[in-house]
Amino acid sequence: MSSFLSFVSLFLILSSCYYTLIDGVFSEQPSMIVSTKRMEKTTHLHFYFHDILDGSNPTAMRIISPPNKSVGGFGTTFMMDDPLTEGPEPDSKIVGRAQGMYALASQHEMGLLMVLNFAFTEGIYNGSALSILGRNPILKKVREMPIVGGSGIFRFARGYALAKTVWLDRKSGDAVVEYNVTVSHL
């Protein structure tokens, strides 16, 4: 009986060293971390974003308008489902969609808050996505925004996106923006 109790005690001690309960049954974490780190990959992507606000088939629409006393449209918010293409031409091959929203988030300059996913539909990236959450000062020639995550091939992604406006219709707000993206992922 004594050896059985010793065995049970040893088992309980060893198992408690292997897993630490956090918040009860909700999650467990190994207390001894085994290194299984895989080599990270760096991927460079180049595509064009077509943001169309007018016409018969807009890809972005205003969902919140600011109060009358808003400075420079501050607070205006748009929802989008914009095509991502290989080239700047509207009939260029579609490689994905930019889905999310952006808002005029600055009272002092034309600065957008971008909350979006680049959802890819072509090649090895089909079904994968990159997530951006950041500031886009649209009057600057080149803007940098952070890649804060991803899914599929881009799981655990981090990196940056450089945006450059290629074409803008100031009357309608329609624009084509070139994106150069550098991302590290597993």
* pLDDT 10s digits, 83-104: 999 999 999 999 999 999 999 9
182 has a pLDDT exceeding 90 = yes
Q: What is the DSSP string of the chain?
A: -HHHHHHHHHHHHHHHHHEEEETTTTEEEESS----PPPPEEEEEEEEEEE--SSSS-SEEEEE---TT-STTTT-EEEEEEEEESSSSTTSPEEEEEEEEEEE--SSS-EEEEEEEEEE-SGGGTT-EEEEEEEEETTSSEEEEEEEEEEGGGTT-EEEEEEEEEEE-TTT--EEEEEEEEEEE-
> Comparing 32-41, 69-78, 105-114, which segment has the lowest mean pLDDT?
32-41
- The string of pLDDT tens digits covering residues 118-166 is 999 999 999 999 999 999 999 999 999 999 999 999 999 999 999 999 9
pLDDT band at 116 (very low <50, low <70, confident <90, very high): very high
Q: What are phi and psi of 137, to 5 degrees?
A: -75, 90
Average model confidence (pLDDT) for the chain?
A: 87
Whole-angstrom distance, CA of residue 42 vs CA of residue 163: 19
Integer angstrom CA distances of residue 81 from 31, 52, 145, 165: 43, 10, 19, 18
Burial of 181 (0-12, 13-18, 19+ CB in 10 A): buried
At residue 32 the predicted structure's pLDDT band, cuts being 50, 70 and 90, is low
pLDDT of residue 15: 52
Give CA–CA dist 88/92, Å, rounded: 7
pLDDT in tens, 41-56: 999 999 999 999 998 9
pTM exceeding 0.85: no
Asked if residue 8 has pLDDT above 90, the reply is no
Give the per-residue pLDDT at 67: 76
Distance CA 41, CA 46 (A): 17
